[in-house]
Amino acid sequence: MSVIPTLEQLHAIGAVQQPTYDDPAALADVVERLRKRPPLVFAGECDDLTSRLAAVSRGEAFLLQGGDCAETLADVGADNVSNKLRVLLQMAVVLTYAGSVPVVKLGRLAGQYAKPRSSDTETRDGVTLPAYRGDAVNGFEFTPESRIPDPNRLLDVYNASAATLNLVRAFVTGGYADLRQVHTWNTDFVRSSSAGQRYEALASEIDKALQFMKAIGVDAEELKRVDFHSSHEALLMEYEHALTRIDSRTGKQYNVSGHFVWIGERTRQIDGAHVEYFRSIANPIGCKLGPTATADDAIALAEKLNPENTPGRLTFITRFGADKIRDGLPNLVEKVTAAGLQVAWVCDPMHGNTFESSTGYKTRRFEDVVGEVQGFFDVHRALGTWPGGILVEMTGDDVTECIGGGEEIDEHRLAHRYESVVDPRLNRVQSLEMAFLVAEMLRRA
Ligand code: PEP
Ligand code: CO
């Protein structure tokens, strides 16, 4: 692990996708205040996740990573967070039970507030303003005032992440995630769908198995709580750097704003500031690989980001698109494997499948999302490697942002309840349907 570079060094390298703040003194003041804030996660928890991800890289576990494309400050509330968590727990149970494999649960939450953008500006009806870069940077509202980057938002994001994580920790250890609650995670709305009914049947089977275990005197702690970790794209240098600390126990540096952090498709330049920063932290990390990534790029990234080749340290999250994965992925997996590199392979079936509907919404087809995961499983099966997991953009609410699925949402229905500020998410029924389909793929893997 390299020494952590200073913020000045990172900016001198030329960090991309950063906001331009008007008032450097105000920004410096916020950074100083963040440096004094307590950590949101602890080094030992990050190490625990690394060992779970090592099991994924060995083919002994499956990663379920899910949450919003972009969290918003306005949505930090009990219902929003618990609905999301409930669906993630349902998906995990389906994958564990129907897929017969341990599932590592990773929320894309409590820190997912900054977005890389393809364009620095956005034009609507002839008016051009700075692009929305996530609530960590500026406001979504399309007015000149709202789009000005405000450093105080970084403190708001810290507070919102702390509140979210507090609720998550209470949920996963305080009885709500107890496997004996498996029926209560199925909310009314989901229950009436066919995926919901399928889930009811599965939950009843689990109930029976639990009663049997109780009858024979097994009352394991594992049934009462789940392991759950947080993750986000570590994009904004000021925020991530201010929340990087030296662990007094080991002397190693950790990003303490989330357990797992990843490098996005737009910031993975081998000599870039993000890769330089990620080299210096000991967290488990991810790196997105899109269709333009070559096998040499992947190998160079792995050598730089994980020089000791530690299993669980590095996860490659591929996002090719349903039409490209079968051509693009094999060469990458083959060469990285031949180079002896220990990585977990995870499929992001969302970001290569986005398009604009005729009705003007950024959307994805459920069948493309499932198609990319199927391609991912097929490629790994052909190569004898392990399809280690999925990263999904999803919500626990009844939104209409992705087309298709059992509810047959069409382009016209998108307007009904489209709430995402960036990318379209699977709603709770689509998420559960997806879990059943992936469980079937796992059974055959
Ligand atoms: C994302 O995960 O929301 C994202 C921006 O992905 P990518 O970096 O792969 O485009
Ligand atoms: Co997204």
Per-domain residue ranges of the chain: 7-177+225-444
pLDDT reading at 174 higher than 90: no
Q: For residue 425, what are the CA distances in angstroms to 50, 66, 173, 226, 380?
A: 27, 10, 27, 24, 26
Q: Which of 319, 395, 401 to mutate to test the pocket of ligand 1 (most atoms within 8 A of CB)?
A: 319
Q: What is the pLDDT of residue 444?
A: 87
Is residue 413 within 8 Å of 400, Cβ to Cβ? yes
Q: What is the pLDDT of residue 192?
A: 83
Under DSSP, the state recorded for 180 is G
Residue whose entry in the numeric block shows the structure tokens 């509140």: 163
Residue 309 CA to ligand 2 center (angstroms) comes to 29
Average of per-residue pLDDT across 415-437: 97
Residue 351 CA to ligand 1 center (angstroms) comes to 6
Is residue 394 within 8 Å of 67, Cβ to Cβ? yes
The string of pLDDT tens digits covering residues 344-390 is: 999 999 999 999 999 999 999 999 999 999 999 999 999 999 999 99
Q: Which atom of ligand 1 is nearest to the CA of 115?
A: 5
d(CA 404, CA 412): 12
Average of per-residue pLDDT across 91-116: 95
Higher pLDDT, 177 or 316: 316
Give the Cα-Cα-Cα angle 73, 316, 423 (nearest 5 degrees).
Answer: 35
Residue 392 CA to ligand 2 center (angstroms) comes to 9
Q: What is the pLDDT of residue 315?
A: 99
Residue 200 CA to ligand 1 center (angstroms) comes to 33
Query: Architecture of 7-177+225-444 per CATH?
Result: Alpha-Beta Barrel (3.20)
Q: Which atom of ligand 1 is nearest to the CA of 69?
A: 3
Plot region of 106 (φ>0 → left; ψ -120 to 50 → alpha; else → beta): beta
CB-CB neighbours of 280 under 10 Å: 17
Q: Whose CA is nearest to atom 3 of ligand 1?
A: 69
pLDDT reading at 1 higher than 70: no
Q: Which atom of ligand 1 is nearest to the CA of 108?
A: 2
Q: Whose CA is nearest to atom 10 of ligand 1?
A: 265
pLDDT reading at 189 higher than 90: no
pLDDT reading at 176 higher than 90: no
What percent of the chain is predicted at pLDDT more than 70?
Answer: 100
Residue 208 CA to ligand 2 center (angstroms) comes to 39
